[in-house]
Structure 1
Amino acid sequence: MTLADPPTERLSVRLRTGTRPDHDAAQGSGFLDRLAAGTLPREAYADLATQHWYIYEALERAAGAMATDPVAGRFVFPELTRLPALSADLLHLGAGVPDTARPVGLLAATAEYRARLQAVAFDQPWAYIAHHYTRYLGDLSGGQFLGPAIARAYGLAGDGHRFFVFDGVKPPAFRTRYRELLDETGFTPAEEDLFLAEVTEAYRLNIAVLAELKERWAQEG
């Protein structure tokens, strides 16, 4: 297929089949497995939450910038907002809420992730949706296992893992509607290719954060 040809598959199908290796790689970091098993100290979980805070601070500012866009604005869901939950989790964990003006604990991989969001997600609908999909749909899928596992491993009864709780969202129905929205974007073939490439880039950035966390905490537990 050339860029001038119309896609032969729905975007949601192209996304699912084209990024499966990226999804599998993101699931196999090892760091998340150790958190789920409780073999790392609680500080390692707080470190993950800190990196998430920096990532979502940028992504949710991008949501504000894209809210009125006729395409990207359809993917701005207030019920998915994670920053308040992350702030509450970090306070409960005793880590404190980060300050973007004086970042503490920011990994190099997280800084790269934020830089990419700043570069493309504030004015390119395909890029915003790519990063939105990679983060939030991942949280609604794998996070629904990881959240309860972390809660058990670190004795968290509600407070401390609010990041994984999406009040009022039913993941199966939401994922179905999300696929419909993807198929309704009206992207050109070139925009679809840019979107799929940016999803792969978002997975790469996420994997890099997890790899750096794994290295930082390799000698713990």
Structure 2
Amino acid sequence: MRWYFLLAMCVIVGLIAARQVPVSGAPVPLVVRLSDHGSGGPLAGIVTITTISAAARRITTVTHRANAEGVASIVVPAGSVRIVAWSNGYSPVQLEADVSSAITKTVPLQPSGGIAGTLVDENGGPVFGSVRLKPTGRSGSPFVLSTHTDAAGQFLIRNVATNTRYEASVNPDSCPAVDGGQISLTPGERRSDVVLRTVACSP
């Protein structure tokens, strides 16, 4: 009789543990809330969720819309997920989350900035070519930004993340890319005085 009692207790404890700890890969509710970093108000926007299944050797990326209340309700497999969130006029944000049970992640977004300037040669003359901004490090924006200059060497890049340091590179047509230094902005900053220089090269 005592043996049956101990067996029953073990079964009950096992069932309770199974309910509290989801099986790896089991569906788990995830709520992502987008908000303005300054006011805390909700922001409609886009949320991209990437999940990596080691067992299935598969990477899955899905995109959801955050509604006017800034809420995106998603069901994801239990485990680690990568969240990328952004809203019109705001810098994108990337973060990692360990989802083992139902959770809500609030993602504050900073107003995006803009960079305008001129690409010139060694003598200060305008250059037609491309300008590329690549984020450094793993935090902040995951996106590489690029544009082409006009005939006067002028360029404009919008939606520049203000929480990210960028490495600038310039690529005159038919020439190798050249290091243009580092650029970063404060929240909401828009610069129009950036001068990037390149060197002469042979086609």
Q: Which has the higher strand share?
A: 2
Q: Which has the larger radius of gyration?
A: 2
Q: Provide the TM-score with structure 2 as the length reference.
A: 0.23
Q: Provide the TM-score with structure 1 as the length reference.
A: 0.21
